[in-house]
A and B are shown apart, each in its own frame.
Chain A
Amino acid sequence: MTDHDQIEELLALEALSALESEDAETLARALEDHGPDCPECAGLRRELGDVAGRLAFALDPVAVRDEIREDILRAGPERQLRRALILRPRLVAAAAAVLVAVGALGGFLLAPRQQPDVAALAEFLSRQDVRVVRFEGAAGHVAAAVAPREGFLFASDLPPIPAGRVYELWMIRGETPVRGLCVEPRDGTVVARFEGAVGASDVLAVTVESESCPTSPTTEPIFVATLQV
Chain B
Amino acid sequence: MGAADLSDLRDRELLRRISRGDEEAFRSLFGRYAPTARALALRILRQRFLADETVQEAFLSVWRNPDRYDASRGSVRAWLMSAVHHRAVDLVRREEAHRRRSDSAVADLPAEDPAEQAVEAVGVPEERAAVRAALAELPAEQREVIELMYFEGLSQSKVAERTGIPLGTVKSRAVLAMRRMRASLGALER
Asked if A55 contacts B55 (CB within 8 A), the reply is no
Chain A, range 42-86, C-beta contacts under 8 Å to B? 42, 45-65, 68-69, 71-73, 75, 77, 81-83, 85-86
Asked if A64 contacts B123 (CB within 8 A), the reply is no
Residues of chain B at interface, number, CB under 8 A: 82
Chain A, range 1-52, C-beta contacts under 8 Å to B? 8-9, 12-13, 15-20, 23, 42, 45-52
Contact of B89 among A17, A65, A72, A157 (CB under 8 A): A17
Contact of B127 among A8, A17, A54 (CB under 8 A): A54
What residue of chain B has the Cβ atom nearest to residue A75's Cβ?
B60
Q: Within 8 Å CB of A71, what residues of B?
A: 56
* Docked pose: A224 CA to B81 CA in angstroms: 32
A-B contact count (CB 8 A): 217
Q: Within 8 Å CB of B30, what residues of A?
A: 64, 69, 72
Asked if B155 contacts A139 (CB within 8 A), the reply is no
Contact of A162 among B23, B79, B94, B128 (CB under 8 A): B94
* Docked pose: A222 CA to B52 CA in angstroms: 12
B10 within 8 A of A: no
Asked if B171 contacts A16 (CB within 8 A), the reply is no
Contact of A16 among B64, B80, B119, B174 (CB under 8 A): B174
Asked if B116 contacts A16 (CB within 8 A), the reply is no
Encoded as 1 (CB less than 8 Å from any A CB) or 0, chain B from 108 to 133 comes to 00100001111110111001101110
* Docked pose: A49 CA to B179 CA in angstroms: 12
Main secondary structure of the interface of B (DSSP, over half): helix
Q: Within 8 Å CB of A63, what residues of B?
A: 35, 38, 115-119, 122
User: How distant is B92 from chain A, measured CB to nearest CB, in Å?
Assistant: 9
User: How distant is A49 from chain B, measured CB to nearest CB, in Å?
Assistant: 5
Centre residue among A55, A82, A157, A161 by max chain B CB count within 10 A: A55
Chain A, range 80-108, C-beta contacts under 8 Å to B? 81-83, 85-86
B34 within 8 A of A: yes
Asked if A49 contacts B82 (CB within 8 A), the reply is yes
Q: Within 8 Å CB of A56, what residues of B?
A: 36-37, 39-40, 81, 84-85
Residues of chain A at interface, number, CB under 8 A: 56
What residue of chain A has the Cβ atom nearest to residue B88's Cβ?
A17
User: How distant is A154 from chain B, measured CB to nearest CB, in Å?
Assistant: 18
Given the known A-B contacts A54-B127, A81-B56, are A65 and B50 also in contact in the complex, defined by CB atoms under 8 Å?
Answer: no
Asked if A50 contacts B78 (CB within 8 A), the reply is yes
Asked if A46 contacts B36 (CB within 8 A), the reply is no
* Docked pose: A157 CA to B31 CA in angstroms: 31
Contact of A48 among B89, B135, B151, B182 (CB under 8 A): B182
User: How distant is B13 from chain A, measured CB to nearest CB, in Å?
Assistant: 19
Asked if B118 contacts A77 (CB within 8 A), the reply is no
Q: Within 8 Å CB of B89, what residues of A?
A: 17
A187 within 8 A of B: yes
Given the known A-B contacts A54-B131, A65-B115, A69-B30, are A46 and B73 also in contact in the complex, defined by CB atoms under 8 Å?
Answer: yes
Asked if B99 contacts A160 (CB within 8 A), the reply is yes
What 4 pairs across the A-B complex have the smallest Cβ distances?
A: A53-B78, A61-B35, A50-B74, A160-B98
Q: Contacts A57-B81, A157-B110 given; 14 further ones with Cβ under 8 A?
A: A8-B179, A18-B154, A18-B156, A49-B73, A49-B74, A52-B78, A53-B75, A53-B85, A54-B131, A55-B131, A57-B124, A61-B36, A72-B56, A81-B57
